[in-house]
Amino acid sequence: MVLLTFLGTGSNYTGLYELAKYQWYEHQPIKTRWIAEACIEIFDIKEAYIIATQKAQDLTWPNLKAAIQNKCDLHLIPIKVGKSEAELWDIFELILDPIPEGAELIIDVTHGFRSQPLMALAIAIYLRIVKGIVVRHIVYGAWEAKDKNSDITPIFALDAFLELIDWTFAISTMSNSGDAAGLKQILQETQKRYYVERSSKYQNSDLPRKLVSLAGSLYQVSQALQLLRPGETGKQVRIALKLLQESRQELQKFAKPFSPLVDRIEVELKPLDYGEVTTSKSILKAQLSMIDWFLSKKKFSHAITLAREWGVNYFAVLRGLNPAVNRHRKLAEKWLNQLIYEHGESDYQGILSREFANLFREIQNYRNEINHANDEQPANKLAKNIEKVCQKLLENSKNLMNQL
């Protein structure tokens, strides 16, 4: 376990802090002037990285070093005060560089100066991604919360702030792209934590029971979306919306960051609650809803792929075939391509409209550019063209559906 801690100048610039009895939840209190010493014992620290300005190095570092030098490996990280944006970036880099990859980290912000606690939070997030660091706890020795009777100074866990950021990323990803993998993980871990770590504080009837089911349901929605399965998407969305309603109380109690955003998730999912996909027309309507949803998320490869398949399904229904039957769909696809690419306009008039033929040809060309990894036009231009042609399909879909 590795400790990252900020060192100040001591009480009233004396180079020493007040003697305190630091206590971490049920752990035995530790009497010391140094929160770093308490952390070393509580968390079985093997290496400690001490962040100190020049004043802290001159006043406090010799005293801290004398107290803890035999308890773990010590590393001093000298930093500037941070009087400018450039200095703040220097501090950020100086702290990041020495922390070993894959370390389990305790971050102590008790004596953090000015913006340093905020920087510690940013560092925690960055280290997890860049170096695979596991941040076990962010801690704060709350001298101002000392109990007058017991003289105990509690050490608070500030992990909730890091968890809040995790929730924010997971929910944002779900809302912006439909990918619920992160949300699934954090919901599952939340329920598990209450059962494994906190069950002694709750009656069995008070523990969360629906978070794992909700996590799985949202993830199934995202998988169905990614794999372009309209029937399954609609089914899983209905299940997820039901579970969101049933889980509101549990979310409010056990997953507070998620609770205020239930309404937003519902708004994102409701356009995909298009009912049972059992008839040929319902297949077409469901696919149009998904195309619209993908466009709103800027997922152009999904939108254009589904738009092309919609065209084939539409032609199948137009000619009295069932797109849910594989041989019917293959026949429709072959017939449609022959009409558009092997015959002239006079040959397909009376079978399908010029409007649809031109639209399908354009959609198929853009779909082929993606599926065949074609570099004929720049990606930004292709994205604009896909968005434009899919919007055209949605705008004309009412008229096309009326022809069935």
DSSP track, 51-65: EE-HHHHHHTHHHHH
Residue 139 has a pLDDT of 92
Residue 144 has a pLDDT of 86
Please tell me the pTM assigned to this model. Answer: 0.75
Round to whole Å and give the CA distance between 162 and 103: 17
103 vs 346, residue with greater confidence: 103
97 vs 244, residue with greater confidence: 244
Q: DSSP secondary-structure letter at 205? A: G
Q: Where are any strands of DSSP class E within 12-61?
A: 20-23, 30-32, 47-52
Burial class (CB in 10 A: 0-12, 13-18, 19+), 85: exposed
> Residue 348: CB partners within 8 Å, gap ≥ 6?
339, 340, 357
Return the closest-CA partner of residue 227 out of 314, 292, 183, 290. Answer: 290
Cross-strand partners of 141 = 155
Round to whole Å and give the CA distance between 81 and 65: 21
Mean pLDDT across the stretch 307-323?
Answer: 93
In angstroms, how far apart are the furthest CA atoms of the chain? 96
Residue 397 has a pLDDT of 93
Kindly provide the b/e burial profile for residues 328-357, where b requires at least 16 CB atoms within 10 angstroms of the residue's own CB.
bbeebbebbeebbeeeeeeebeeebbeebb
User: In the 3-class helix/strand/coil scheme, how is 124-136 assigned residue by residue?
Assistant: HHHHHHHCCCEEE
335 Ramachandran zone, left/alpha/beta (phi>0; psi -120 to 50): alpha
Residue 203 has a pLDDT of 55
User: In the 3-class helix/strand/coil scheme, how is 320-354 assigned residue by residue?
Assistant: CCCCCCHHHHHHHHHHHHHHHHHCCHHHHCCCCCH
Domains of the chain: which residue ranges?
2-157, 299-404
**Is the confidence at residue 198, as pLDDT, over 70?**
no
Residue 119 has a pLDDT of 79
Q: DSSP secondary-structure letter at 261? A: G
Q: Are 382 and 369 in contact (CB under 8 A)?
A: yes
pLDDT digits (tens, 9 = 90+) for 166-189: 888 888 888 888 888 988 988 888
Return the closest-CA partner of residue 173 out of 262, 297, 257. Answer: 297
Residue 219 has a pLDDT of 94
Domain formed by 2-157, architecture: 3-Layer(aba) Sandwich (3.40)
Residue 30 has a pLDDT of 93
Read off the pLDDT band of 272 (50, 70, 90): very high
Q: Are 259 and 208 in contact (CB under 8 A)?
A: no
